[in-house]
Amino acid sequence: MTETPRSNASFSTVLVVDADTTARARLQRLLESTGYRVLVAGDATGALRLVHADTCDLIFLDTELPGVDGLALCRLLRSSPVISARATNQNSRVPIIVIAHAANEQKQVEAFASGADDFIVKTSPAGEILARMNGLLEAATREGHLAGTNRELAFLADLGRSLLHTLEPVQVARQVAGATFAAMNAALCAVVLRDDAPNNAPNNAPDTEGIVAVFDREGSLEGANLIDLELYAKWHAVAASEVTDEGGKVSERFSERFTEQARFIIKDNRHTLEFAAALRFGNRTHGALIVAFDREEDFTDSEERLAEAAAQVAALAAHISSLYVETARQADYLAAEVERRTAEIERGRRFTEAIIDSLPISLYAIDLDYNIVAWNRNRELGTQGIPRVDAIGRNIFEVLTRQPRRVLEREFARAFSNAAIERIEQTTIDENGATKHWLVSKIPMRADETGNVSHVITVGEDTTARVEANRAVARAEKLAAVGRLAAGVVHEINNPLATISACAEALESRVLEGSFGESKEVDDLREYLGLIRSEAFRCKSITNGLLDFSRMRAGEHRPVSVKAILESAARLLMHQQRGRNIEIVTEAPEDLPFLSGDEGQLQQAVIALSTNAIDAMPEGGKLILRARESTLKNRRTNIIVEVSDTGIGIAPENMPKIFDPFYTTKEIGQGTGLGLAVCYGIVTEHGGRIVVESATGRGTTFTITLPVTPAGNP
């Protein structure tokens, strides 16, 4: 806040600090003769006492003082804020002139270094002393005016910055009231917002009328209880009606000064003056800035100018705030409507996604740039599944790295160009060696008005169960046909085989008895007869296998111990000494439940699987016969029997045919191809199932699952 300029001699107080009484008196007479008020001191202590007790605008300071010298006192005064606080012009620092008995360059340098503004000798002419003193006082006065103006500008700049991002009316009122109270010598400061414009906003918008912010003498924020709202309403009505100035133009300002207690808007008995400035912008009056002072002399022209400027800045902020509130009111309905419609769209989108995710197929879609735009939940599952977040937006060739890129490119190119659905049957091998069958469909999608294909949807259906079921049906039909054939042929074959065997044995007996003499042909006859007999017995074993295969294995079911079956099979295999360097291990818990079945048939199945396993380990290895209990979600208990080896494994192309009768990969004469077919029939007749997992070079595991029925409990 700036003060009205004043003449130096009429209002300035000068402090003379000099230990030389004669020089001090001479300088005092000179200053007083020209109209200055003079204070004198002979030492540093007296000078400090006067500085603290009175105001001064300039100090003459002798370099040689008793105790503390003049330069030390100068440094002390410059470091103390008391001088500025006690000065007449509060916005400038007090000039200090150092006086000395004689000119001394070193002393002069030290004086300026200590904070002095000038250096003169006591014998200087009176005119020079007064001229240099007046120059310093005028400079201090100009500095004070400039500092006051700068402070006003700084206040307005700070207030503007604080309101720049303030949109809520309550925050506008608090910012303006607090900043104005801090900047002025006021006892109370209040901001009232009460817009006189009509309100056409929706009813659910916030109300801005009656917003009040008050800062009291302690600087604490109070509410509407300190405002006489009835008096304010009357004043607001007058302020809102004053819309034109003397020239007929719209007036942006309206303010009043009150000194009558009856008109005070702020309810406080201690202040003696109020100043109210309307917060007007255009033709709307948004409220008022009200400032109260305990003393009338505290409200200077500078204070009034500051309050008017603050009201203008606050008016703009209040106008922006009102626009914000009105816009917010109008936007509430639109936001609610948009939110409602967005929620409907989102529910529809989620429902569509739920339908797609619920389909028992793997589905994804790509655009013309081969970027993934859709990826359903089933495409995330399984050993080849990829999380949706890792797929959406990426190039399809970066995601499906397990499939040859050239094959995929050809498939997608055909779909984009031909615009026809293409179905492809695929077979994959998982990490456990199991074969998976897929039916993959490439479906072109036309998403624009031109009918061009914009996306390709790929649908993958796991047909493994269907393929295996078809193969099982075919296998069952084949087994039934072979069984019927075997049943009708075996007996007819066995009779000639029995005759051939009997004749061969009879001829061998006659050879041994010497009936044919000692000719060289006897040795050939003996060899031929041995071949006839061995081949007849091999044919007999084949026919016996056919009989086993063709019989309805309706054996007597009784409670049997799977652990005992495995241990018995292991003993038989070791007794037969099949294979070398084969380690046979059985693993079965003691508390394994019994199941209902034919012990002989089950043992036959285990031995058949074990024999094949041993044959698959010509260089030796490990055969594991393992049994365990498994409880499914439906609480049904099964016995799992695993026959595992570390042999050469089964080639993927042979896996679908291993249970077919007469199919074998062994050399001629090494196997009939009926062992696994018989094993498959035994397991099926016991209500179980058998599956195989194999990896070339890593071994094979046959897994038999047999149900535990109540009849299986001993």
Whether 184 and 322 map to the same domain: the answer is: yes
Is residue 60's pLDDT more than 90?
Answer: yes
Contact present, 306 and 269 (Cβ < 8 Å): no
Match 């912008």 to its residue by tokens: 281
CA gap 550, 677 in Å, rounded:
11
At residue 16, the pLDDT reads: 92
- Domain C-terminal end among 147, 175, 210: 147
- The two beta strands, 453-462 and 211-215, are unpaired
* In-domain check, residue 335: no
Contact present, 308 and 253 (Cβ < 8 Å): yes
Whether 563 and 693 map to the same domain: the answer is: yes
Helix pair angle (675-685, 520-550), 10° resolution? 20
Alpha helices in 427-513 (DSSP H): 464-513
pLDDT more than 90, % of the chain: 8
Q: Which helix (H) or strand (E) holds 121?
A: strand 118-121
Angle (CA) 257 277 240, round 5°: 110
* In-domain check, residue 377: yes
At residue 284, the pLDDT reads: 84
CA gap 672, 538 in Å, rounded:
10
Of the two residues 53 and 578, the one the predictor is more confident about is 53
Whether 516 and 617 map to the same domain: the answer is: no
- Domain C-terminal end among 550, 573, 607: 550
- Poorest-confidence range of 429-433, 588-592, 677-681, 697-701? 429-433
* In-domain check, residue 602: yes
CATH code where residue 402 lies: 3.30.450.20
CA neighbours within 13 Å on the CB side: how many for 177? 29
| Phi, psi (deg, nearest 5) at residue 365 | -135, 145
Among residues 303, 93, 276, 289, the alpha carbon closest in space to that of 173 is found at 289
Match 């109540």 to its residue by tokens: 710
The DSSP string of 28-61 is HHHHHHTT-EEEEESSHHHHHHHHHHS--SEEEE
* In-domain check, residue 345: no
At residue 220, the pLDDT reads: 67
Amino acid at 699: G
Is residue 245's pLDDT more than 60?
Answer: no
- Poorest-confidence range of 483-487, 506-510, 593-597? 483-487
CA gap 177, 310 in Å, rounded:
10
pLDDT grade, residue 273 (50/70/90)?
Answer: very high
Whether 18 and 90 map to the same domain: the answer is: yes
At residue 208, the pLDDT reads: 42
Whether 500 and 606 map to the same domain: the answer is: no
The DSSP string of 240-261 is HH--B-TTSSBPS--EEEE--G
**Torsion angle, CA of 378/384/390/394, rounded to 10 degrees?**
-100
* In-domain check, residue 308: yes
CATH code where residue 14 lies: 3.40.50.2300
At residue 579, the pLDDT reads: 54
Whether 82 and 17 map to the same domain: the answer is: yes
Contacts of residue 633, defined as CB under 8 A and 6 or more positions apart, other chains included, come to: none
CA gap 294, 241 in Å, rounded:
30
Q: What is the mean pLDDT of residues 436-464?
A: 80
Q: Is the dihedral of CA 385, 390, 393, 394 positive or negative?
A: negative
Contact present, 690 and 602 (Cβ < 8 Å): no
Whether 406 and 300 map to the same domain: the answer is: no
Domain count for the chain, please give it: 5
Whether 564 and 541 map to the same domain: the answer is: no
pLDDT grade, residue 206 (50/70/90)?
Answer: very low
535: its two tokens: 């081949």
Contact present, 116 and 136 (Cβ < 8 Å): no
* In-domain check, residue 155: no
Whether 176 and 143 map to the same domain: the answer is: no
- Poorest-confidence range of 199-213, 223-237, 399-413, 643-657? 199-213
Match 């294995």 to its residue by tokens: 553
Among residues 369, 518, 519, 527, the alpha carbon closest in space to that of 455 is found at 369
Is residue 454's pLDDT more than 70?
Answer: yes
- Poorest-confidence range of 5-9, 261-265, 531-535? 5-9
Summarised one tens digit per residue, pLDDT across range 342-387 is: 889 888 888 877 887 777 777 888 888 889 888 887 777 765 678 8
The DSSP string of 372-419 is EEEE-GGGGSSTT---GGGTTTSBHHHH-TTS-HHHHHHHHHHHHHH-
Summarised one tens digit per residue, pLDDT across range 324-335 is: 888 888 888 888
654: its two tokens: 């042979």
CA gap 133, 112 in Å, rounded:
16
* In-domain check, residue 340: no
Helix (H, G, I), strand (E, B) or coil at 292: strand
CA gap 626, 283 in Å, rounded:
95
Whether 27 and 94 map to the same domain: the answer is: yes
163: its two tokens: 């309101």
Contacts of residue 679, defined as CB under 8 A and 6 or more positions apart, other chains included, come to: 604, 605, 608, 609, 690
651: its two tokens: 């080639």
| Phi, psi (deg, nearest 5) at residue 633 | -65, -30
CA gap 351, 80 in Å, rounded:
77
Domain extent, residue 593, equals 558-712
Distance of CA 306 to the CA centre of its chain: 50
- Poorest-confidence range of 471-480, 523-532, 640-649? 471-480
Contact present, 440 and 447 (Cβ < 8 Å): no
- Domain C-terminal end among 114, 147, 180: 147
Whether 449 and 510 map to the same domain: the answer is: no
Of the two residues 528 and 187, the one the predictor is more confident about is 187
Among residues 642, 660, 659, 629, the alpha carbon closest in space to that of 699 is found at 642
Whether 660 and 608 map to the same domain: the answer is: yes
Q: Counting every residue, how long is the chain?
A: 714
Helix (H, G, I), strand (E, B) or coil at 621: strand
37: its two tokens: 């008020």
* In-domain check, residue 269: yes
At residue 430, the pLDDT reads: 62
**Torsion angle, CA of 428/434/439/441, rounded to 10 degrees?**
-40
**Torsion angle, CA of 566/571/575/576, rounded to 10 degrees?**
0
Summarised one tens digit per residue, pLDDT across range 501-540 is: 778 777 777 777 776 766 667 777 777 777 787 777 767 6
At residue 275, the pLDDT reads: 93
